[in-house]
Amino acid sequence: MKLTLGPVLYNWKPEAWRDFYFRIAEEAPIDTVVVGEIVCSKRSPFIAEHIPAVVERLSACGKDVVMGSLTLMSLTRERNAMAELAAAPELTMEVNDLSCLGMLGDRPHAIGPFVNIYNEATAKYFASHGAKRICLPPELPLTAIRTIAAALPDVIFEVFGFGRAPLAISARCYHARLNKLSKDNCKFVCEQDPDGLAVFTLDNEPFLAMNGVQTLSYACTSVLGEIDDLTEAGVRSLRLSPQQCDMVEVAKVYRDVIDGKRSVAEGAAALTTIYPVPVANGFLYAKPGSTFITNVTEAQRTARAL
């Protein structure tokens, strides 16, 4: 089992974004790193000047670098930017918007978790057009993951292993609307919430998090207890999504649990200290994604019944 670092989903200060990747390059036991602005193209200019240095540092430290596409393209300039990225022969693109497939032709590429791959037939379609690695959507149960991975043993399958799970993308900006601003004149207010802004239910319980045009879970996905099951199911990499915490330490915890250097309980205790947010693994058991399953035997039994 390898580790992938997903792209930063939030609007971080450019220098903090750059320095984050520099530290990942030099200290984190990560195999593959996805780089780029995938949520909102208006943020792209802030990090653009740092991308070459980040890619160079990551590559020099032995990381495989993948460039993420936008999740939703709606403007001509966005399409042009993604066409330019797709045309770069030295880079591997991770497709998050299906429009990018036409730009790539059948050249080798990756598929991100924002593309709805819910069965083996869909996975086979993408593989037949050049997809070499596929990060499955975070809402898939383990039974579906096992079936899809078994159908394509030559494809590297990845699942969402840590972080607030990305759930939806919109053409409207929630952060702008909340602050009574238009999307075109948002003043980049999303930078005020570098870990997302909690959304509460009517009972005042945190349920979701918003990040500009994106909706995420409030709870942090944690699959430490399912690593053996995911390995047996054919998953070859876990995706760690950057949060406002020490992601180098998060990567070390996952690497240690995978390698048997820490128990699941020890790893879970360490994660609670590193990122003190409620954890969730419900999707893997066909349960509500915001829940954390501890009675695994019962959850697996009911999931099979479904």
Q: What is the pLDDT of residues 139-192, one digit of tens each?
A: 999 999 999 999 999 999 999 999 999 999 998 999 999 999 988 889 999 999
Q: If we measure between CA atoms, which residue out of 247, 249, 251 comes closest to residue 237?
A: 251
Hey, what are 239's tokens? Answer: 């995706």
Residue 177 lies inside a defined structural domain of this protein: no
Residue 245 lies inside a defined structural domain of this protein: yes
Q: Length of the chain, please?
A: 306
CA distance 22 to 40: 23
Q: If we measure between CA atoms, which residue out of 233, 228, 208 comes closest to residue 218?
A: 208
CA distance 279 to 167: 16
Q: Is 245 marked within a binding site? A: no
Burial of 201 (0-12, 13-18, 19+ CB in 10 A): exposed
| pLDDT-based confidence at residue 195 (cuts at 50, 70, 90) | very high
Q: Is 186 marked within a binding site? A: yes
Residue 53 lies inside a defined structural domain of this protein: yes
Using the 8-state DSSP alphabet, how is residue 73 labeled? -
Residue 162 near residue 255 (C-beta atoms within 8 A): no
Residue 260 lies inside a defined structural domain of this protein: yes
Q: Is 190 marked within a binding site? A: yes
What is the CA angle 29-32-37, rounded to 5? 120
Hey, what are 9's tokens? Answer: 């989903």
Percent of the residues in the chain that have a pLDDT greater than 70, as a whole number: 96
The pLDDT of residue 156 is 97
**3-state helix/strand/coil string of 133-146:** EEECCCCCCHHHHH
CA distance 26 to 57: 8
For the chain, what is the domain count? 1
Structural domain span for residue 275: 2-168+220-279
Residue 241 lies inside a defined structural domain of this protein: yes
CA distance 51 to 22: 11
Task: List, as one string, the DSSP characters of 211-237.
Answer: ETTEEEEEEEEE-GGGHHHHHHTT--E
β-pairing verdict for 214-222 and 206-211: antiparallel
3-state secondary structure of 63: coil
CA distance 128 to 278: 39
Summarize the chain as % helix, strand, coil (round to 5). Answer: 40, 20, 40
The pLDDT of residue 89 is 82
H/E run at residue 78: helix 76-87
* CATH code, 86: 3.20.20.120
| pLDDT-based confidence at residue 296 (cuts at 50, 70, 90) | low
User: How much is the pTM?
Assistant: 0.93
Residue 293 lies inside a defined structural domain of this protein: no
Q: What is the pLDDT of residues 35-51, one digit of tens each?
A: 999 999 999 999 999 99
Q: What is the pLDDT of residues 60-118, one digit of tens each?
A: 999 999 999 999 998 999 999 999 999 988 889 999 999 999 999 889 999 999 999 99
Residue 207 near residue 218 (C-beta atoms within 8 A): yes
CA distance 243 to 258: 21
Q: If we measure between CA atoms, which residue out of 237, 239, 243 comes closest to residue 218?
A: 243
The pLDDT of residue 146 is 97
The pLDDT of residue 93 is 96
Hey, what are 17's tokens? Answer: 């974004």
Q: Is 40 marked within a binding site? A: yes
Residue 300 lies inside a defined structural domain of this protein: no
Residue 148 lies inside a defined structural domain of this protein: yes
Question: In this structure, which amino acid lies at residue 218?
Answer: Y
Q: What is the pLDDT of residues 278-295, one digit of tens each?
A: 999 999 999 999 999 986
